[in-house]
Amino acid sequence: MKIGANELRIGMLIEHNGRLWTACKLQHVKPGKGGAFVQAELKDIKSGTKLNERFRSEDVLEKVSLDEEKYQLLFSDGDVFTFMNTVTFDQIQINKEIIGEPARFLQDNMMVKIQSYDGEIIGVMLPDTVVMTVIEADAVVKGQTATASYKPAVLENGERILVPPHIDAGTRIVVNTDDGSYVEKAK
* pLDDT computed for residue 161 by the predictor: 93
Kindly list the distances between the CA atom of residue 4 and the CA atoms of 17, 60, 104, in Å, as whole numbers in the listed order.
Answer: 16, 5, 37
DSSP secondary structure string for all residues of 110-125: -EEEEEEETTEEEEEE
Q: Which residues lie across from 126 on neighbouring strands?
A: none
- Return the number of other C-beta atoms located less than 10 Å from residue 42's C-beta: 24
What count of Cα atoms within 13 Å lies in the side-chain half-sphere of residue 62? 8
| Tens of pLDDT, residues 2-41 | 999 888 887 788 999 988 898 888 898 888 888 889 999 9
Rounded-to-integer distance, Cα 127 and Cα 122, Å? 17
Quick one: pLDDT at residue 25? 85
3-state secondary structure of 143: coil
Answer for the pair 167, 185: CB distance below 8 angstroms, yes or no: yes
64-115: pLDDT as tens digits: 888 889 999 999 998 999 999 999 999 999 998 888 788 889 998 999 999 8
Report the phi/psi class of residue 78: left, alpha or beta, with left for phi > 0 and alpha for psi in -120 to 50: left
Residue 1 pLDDT > 80: yes
What's the pTM value of the predicted model, to 2 decimals?
0.70
Residue among 132, 130, 151, 133 nearest 142 (CA):
151
Q: Hey, what amino acid is at 113?
A: K
